[in-house]
Structure 1
Amino acid sequence: MKYQRTEFEEVFADVAFESDKDNSRLEVPISRKTPYIFLTFIFLLFSFFWVRTLWLAIFEGEQWSLIAARNTERVFPILAPRGIIYDYSGEALVENVPIFRIVVDLTRMPQDKNILASQLGYIAKSLEIPQSELEDRLAKSESSTNLVLIREVKQENAVELSLIQAQNDIFWMSIESVPERVYRDSTAFAHVLGYTSEVTKEDIGSQANYLPTEEIGKTGIEASFDGILRGITGKNIFVVDAKGKTDKTFIEQEAKSGKNIRLTIDSKLQKALFKSLAQETKKAGARSAAAVALDPRDGSVRALVSFPSYDNNAFAQGISSEDYSKLISDNAKPLLNRVVSGLYPSGSVIKPVVGLAALTEKVITPQKRISDPGFITVSNIYDPSIIYTYRDWKAHGSTNFVEAIAESCDVYFYTVGGGYGDIIGLGIDRLAGWLRQFNLDKETGIDLPSEVNGLIPTPEWKEKEKGEPWVLGNTYHLSIGQGDLLVTPIGLATAISSIVNGGTVYKPKLIESIFEKKDFENKTEGQVINKISASEENFNWVKRGMRAAVNSSEGTAKLLNQVKVSVAAKTGTAQVGSKRTHAWIAAYAPYDDPELVVVVLIENGGEGSIAAAPVAKAALDAYFEDKDQ
């Protein structure tokens, strides 16, 4: 028998095939460690879950319960009534009046656009406003939680909306009764009280505790003491179901009213000053003015008026865009508080300060007479052929200290300020130093927003700001309140008050007390800014000059001699252009025992003795009308 030859590759393939068959049938025993490892893993896994459950239940249970509660609760703030602001005598200047408004919870708004549109339609129909207006307000909301949809609705609308809300499941809407500010004599007190208005995105960014549905003080006392007047907001809890509908409500925290404030303001004087300032400003053909009255004994502000004014109720009750645009586009700037934010050359009202400096520095004696032909001339130090002439408003002849203040003699103050003839004047360094003693280059610190610093020019300032050297003429101009000198009415009133009281520069005080109940008032004290380094005798010489301005035949403030108490004063006419002048006056009374300083400015009003003096007279008449002197 013949056998077919077998190739080597076939033998190798058969062997490999048999080997694979054996391996496929082979049962490899499991290692003894494997079950233990598996059981250990299962045990550890269940132990972890058991321990974690115990930890959550025992140690974090309360926290997670709160989180769960928050998922079913919605917090609506209960706005606290703001504190009441009173005048010095206890008369309320503002009150809280309850109104109804519509607030929406943006987190509970229907996701279905058709449902939302239908519900907005019901609301719009009830309020008789376009539905698109409501949709725009929702679209423009800067808040992600709550939004005041309608700021104020009538009581009958509020009742109707409550029925519509219940009938149509508008659970995301809340009709609230909240207090609204109503200001009395709003235009007369606007720049003192300020106003409240809705919180903006910027407000919330600056204060973490502001709520998107509350109103805060925006300017005036309302802003400066917002934290005191606001009180403590309460919490109204809405428990909602899975669909977002309200299941029940309860009050978690009652709102606490803000504290009350009693101002130093005298309402009668404030209204009289506002009325007279408005009348005399219009009579002078001017558009803007400012006036302030201080008690020189402690800096208390008895009246503060900026004209033109505005109706702060318009802001507190929701000013329209059109009305707001008119206010901010008005060239007379009714929103500007000129008493603290206006900067003006002082004119001759600064002369009592310069005079006190000259006496104290022994530049002049009260009896020394200076000849005033109506001007002085000074030669250029580099070219004597160039002559500079510095004019007075009239020729006063031979003049002493008292007469110089009473008659507002410019040549006299050119001489004692910059020097002339045989008299070496104060010079710019001493002159600027004395003006700084009276705090005229700084804020007074009055409790009102937006106060600005005054400006006392110096050689260093002029070189830096104008790139020019200081010359003698600059010192002459500064000596009579001209040139680059700028003051605020409140700063000038503070300076004059410190002359009147014998040298104490007080911070103007607007707050008499802060209290919750009138029986427990926490009264404030006057704060001293500086003490002027001058003798009582020199202060008295200055005051004699101011008295002579009223009761002498050549005095510039003779109109005030008609007031029933003795008055002292200094007028000023500050040049602000080739043909324009600001009218100033600073007056105080009674002369022997001062209790009121009045400073009046009428922008572009002409002469102080003509335009500003009648305002000061009206203020003094009103203040002393019922006082026995």
Structure 2
Amino acid sequence: MLSNKNYKDIRQKRTSSKFRSHILSRKKFEIEPDEIFLDSKNIPRFELDQLEGRIEKPINKKVFSFLFIFFVIIELMFISRVWSIEISKGEAFTILSENNRLRSVRLFSNRGVIYDRFGNKLSWNDVDSRRYSSEGLSNMLGYIGYPSKRDTEDIEMLYSKEMIGKAGIEKVYNNILSGDAGIKLIETDAHNNIKSESVQKLPVDGGNIYLSVDADFQSELYRYIESLSLEKDFTGGAGIFMDLSSGEVLSIANFPEYDSQVLSSGEPREKINSYLTDQRNPFVDRAVSGIYTPGSIMKLVLAIATLNEKIIDPNKEILSTGSISIPNPFFPDKISVFPDWKAHGLVDMRRALAVSSNVYFYEVGGGFEEIKGLGIDKIGEYSKMFGLGEKTGIDLDNEGVGLIPSPEEKKANSPEGDNIWRIGDTYNASIGQGDFQVTVAQMVKMVSAIATDGVLLTPHLIKKCEGRCGDIDMDKFTGIEKLKIPPEYFKIVKEGMRMAVTDGSAKGLNFSNIKIAAKTGTAEIGSKYVNSWVIGFA
């Protein structure tokens, strides 16, 4: 039996135990305030789907913390920007605001005049245009035009109205001819009315350049090349005459050529469009930029190399029956035939040069029977010695480099074809065929070295400069390099060249009043075209 007192104690303990159990259960399963009424009847008829009747929760303190940090960051960014504008870059913005009322204007200088060696004007200024003189001079002189992104990265120059040299002498010596532009400051008010003007820097006119060319002689050479090209149905032609004592170019003509006046003025457009569509490429300076297969004029280098390497006595005769035959590398039971242009009979070195015997130079170049031959490496070595395969240094733009054939070159350019160097390749190289590529300027440098017993001259057009001449380095044109080859070897080759004029392939140059030594060359280009050469000296 339990007394009332004991019963109350037991009930109180049970109630206390249930309360503690409820508290623990709530901590484990948190009950939201509005969940208290989940079992209650919706007496006020709230739209529960529209969240009516739900008890609002207090905003979490973390939200206020996040907003506070966000606005602090925005404030710091604003302060940083103000600091950049007012303090860090304040001076730059001040200058910018000053420029809003101070305008800088370029004062163009007068472009320098280009003269020939006798003081005849070739290019000069006439009111607002550039003027050019005589035919046959345009590819050499070039033309002027507005600068493009290919010419300069100077933004101010790109948007100026100052003309610059775009080709030829106008481009090569643009820094001298263009002078220095001046600067004038113009102060304007808010309505763009001029308040004052002040010249900050006076313009300096460009320097005047005297070229080594004879304009009349060059025009005559141009007309001759034009006439011959039209008569023989040649695509075009070029010619260079150079002073053997100095390297000064006396004439450098190209056909066809553009008109410097037309390109500089930009009109008529029809004429310019005709240049662009002309398949003869009048924009190509054939004397400097064009590269061509040399043909038999390379026999001069082969002759010097043969003598210097003692491959054969110059008086020893070789029989030319019209061709030379060797075993075919692909079909051993057959032969490969390398033709001469005719049967010359027995020829020594002088006679071989005079009549341009292919068989003679096949044998001394590539070897045949008891003659060892130079071999392709020696041919390449002496070609480089005479300035082939590299720029001559002539003061015109876009000078070509050319190509000297070699086993390495053949392998690189024929990765999937027949890239093995064979004796036939050496034979072709020995007469300037195959992959040989040269420029007219290189051939002038080469033949001048033969004429001067090994002096390598740098062909150039500038003779002198007046006025603002800058830092022209005339020494690079007057420096002399001498090949270490005995003079008697050059004498033999020059005798062969003279014989070519008196009784050989260059008899058309045999004049009574001038003594000329020359060498001709013809290189076949496919089945349709040929490169026809004549080089020499007087």
Deviation at 1:456, TM superposition (A): 0.5
Deviation at 1:204, TM superposition (A): 4.1
Q: What secondary structure, in the 3-state scheme, does the structure 2 residue paired with 1:585 have?
A: strand
Query: Is 1:568 aligned to residue 517 of structure 2?
Result: yes
**Which TM-score applies when normalising by structure 2?**
0.78
Which whole-Å CA distance do the structure 2 matches of 1:439 and 1:251 have between them? 51
Partner of 2:311: 363
Query: Is 1:536 aligned to residue 487 of structure 2?
Result: yes
Deviation at 1:524, TM superposition (A): 5.3
Partner of 2:99: 70
Count of residues in correspondence between the two structures: 447
Which whole-Å CA distance do the structure 2 matches of 1:470 and 1:394 have between them? 27
Tell me if the contact between 2:375 and 2:426 (Cα under 8 Å) persists in the aligned partners.
yes
| Counterpart among 312, 329, 341 of residue 260 in structure 2 | 312
Partner of 1:585: 534
**Which TM-score applies when normalising by structure 1?**
0.67
Deviation at 1:572, TM superposition (A): 0.8
Deviation at 1:515, TM superposition (A): 1.8
Tell me if the contact between 1:505 and 1:528 (Cα under 8 Å) persists in the aligned partners.
no
- Aligned positions of 1:58-457 closer than 5 A: 69-99=98-128, 180-185=129-134, 187-205=135-153, 212-380=160-328, 383-457=331-405
Alignment deviations for residues 450-493 of structure 1 (CA, whole Å, 9 cap, x no partner):
11211001011111211310011111111111111011111111
Which whole-Å CA distance do the structure 1 matches of 2:249 and 2:124 have between them? 22
Which whole-Å CA distance do the structure 2 matches of 1:567 and 1:334 have between them? 31
Distance verdict in 2 for CA 1:530–1:298, change over 3 Å: same
Which whole-Å CA distance do the structure 1 matches of 2:193 and 2:259 have between them? 42
Q: What secondary structure, in the 3-state scheme, does the structure 1 residue paired with 2:273 have?
A: helix
Q: What secondary structure, in the 3-state scheme, does the structure 2 residue paired with 1:80 have?
A: coil
Which whole-Å CA distance do the structure 2 matches of 1:253 and 1:266 have between them? 38
Deviation at 1:295, TM superposition (A): 1.7
Distance verdict in 2 for CA 1:542–1:76, change over 3 Å: same
Alignment deviations for residues 304-346 of structure 1 (CA, whole Å, 9 cap, x no partner):
1121001111121123554333211110000111111111110
Distance verdict in 2 for CA 1:324–1:394, change over 3 Å: same
Q: What secondary structure, in the 3-state scheme, does the structure 2 residue paired with 1:425 have?
A: coil
Deviation at 1:303, TM superposition (A): 1.0
Which whole-Å CA distance do the structure 2 matches of 1:66 and 1:529 have between them? 55
Distance verdict in 2 for CA 1:563–1:241, change over 3 Å: farther
237-246 or 342-351, which moves further after superposition? 237-246
Structure 2 counterpart of 1:194, which letter? G
Alignment deviations for residues 22-79 of structure 1 (CA, whole Å, 9 cap, x no partner):
xxxxxxxxxxxxxxxxxxxxxxxxxxxxxxx9x9xxxx99x99966653322222111
Partner of 2:37: none
Distance verdict in 2 for CA 1:227–1:210, change over 3 Å: farther
| Counterpart among 482, 506, 510 of residue 461 in structure 2 | 510
Which whole-Å CA distance do the structure 2 matches of 1:330 and 1:381 have between them? 43
Which whole-Å CA distance do the structure 2 matches of 1:204 and 1:549 have between them? 50
Partner of 2:420: 469
Which whole-Å CA distance do the structure 1 matches of 2:240 and 2:491 have between them? 24
Which whole-Å CA distance do the structure 1 matches of 2:256 and 2:293 have between them? 20
Tell me if the contact between 1:515 and 1:522 (Cα under 8 Å) persists in the aligned partners.
no
Structure 2 counterpart of 1:303, which letter? S
Q: What secondary structure, in the 3-state scheme, does the structure 1 residue paired with 2:312 have?
A: coil
Q: What secondary structure, in the 3-state scheme, does the structure 2 residue paired with 1:314 have?
A: helix
Distance verdict in 2 for CA 1:383–1:323, change over 3 Å: closer
Distance verdict in 2 for CA 1:528–1:351, change over 3 Å: farther
Q: What secondary structure, in the 3-state scheme, does the structure 2 residue paired with 1:262 have?
A: strand
Distance verdict in 2 for CA 1:260–1:437, change over 3 Å: same
Tell me if the contact between 1:261 and 1:511 (Cα under 8 Å) persists in the aligned partners.
yes
What residue ranges of structure 1 are gaps of 5+ in the alignment? 1-52, 100-179, 590-629
Which whole-Å CA distance do the structure 2 matches of 1:586 and 1:515 have between them? 34
Distance verdict in 2 for CA 1:74–1:579, change over 3 Å: closer
Partner of 1:490: 441
Query: Is 1:501 aligned to residue 452 of structure 2?
Result: yes
Deviation at 1:212, TM superposition (A): 1.8
Distance verdict in 2 for CA 1:489–1:207, change over 3 Å: farther
Structure 1 counterpart of 2:121, which letter? A
Q: What secondary structure, in the 3-state scheme, does the structure 2 residue paired with 1:338 have?
A: coil
What residue ranges of structure 2 are gaps of 5+ in the alignment? 1-85
Tell me if the contact between 1:363 and 1:425 (Cα under 8 Å) persists in the aligned partners.
yes
Distance verdict in 2 for CA 1:251–1:193, change over 3 Å: same
Distance verdict in 2 for CA 1:556–1:204, change over 3 Å: closer
Which whole-Å CA distance do the structure 2 matches of 1:495 and 1:367 have between them? 24
Distance verdict in 2 for CA 1:581–1:89, change over 3 Å: same
555-564 or 76-85, which moves further after superposition? 555-564
Which whole-Å CA distance do the structure 2 matches of 1:212 and 1:78 have between them? 10
343-352 or 82-91, which moves further after superposition? 82-91
Which whole-Å CA distance do the structure 2 matches of 1:576 and 1:582 have between them? 7
- Identity between Structure 1 and Structure 2 (%): 35
Decide which structure has the larger Cα Rg and report it. 2
Distance verdict in 2 for CA 1:65–1:473, change over 3 Å: closer
Which whole-Å CA distance do the structure 1 matches of 2:437 and 2:530 have between them? 14
Distance verdict in 2 for CA 1:255–1:452, change over 3 Å: same
Which whole-Å CA distance do the structure 2 matches of 1:576 and 1:207 have between them? 46
Partner of 1:558: 507
Partner of 1:596: none
Partner of 2:406: 458
- The alignment's C-alpha RMSD in Å is 2.5
Deviation at 1:200, TM superposition (A): 2.5
Tell me if the contact between 2:247 and 2:457 (Cα under 8 Å) persists in the aligned partners.
yes
Which whole-Å CA distance do the structure 1 matches of 2:390 and 2:476 have between them? 21
Which whole-Å CA distance do the structure 2 matches of 1:452 and 1:523 have between them? 22
Query: Is 1:480 aligned to residue 480 of structure 2?
Result: no
Deviation at 1:287, TM superposition (A): 2.5
Structure 1 counterpart of 2:425, which letter? N
Distance verdict in 2 for CA 1:278–1:207, change over 3 Å: farther
Deviation at 1:247, TM superposition (A): 3.2
Deviation at 1:422, TM superposition (A): 1.5
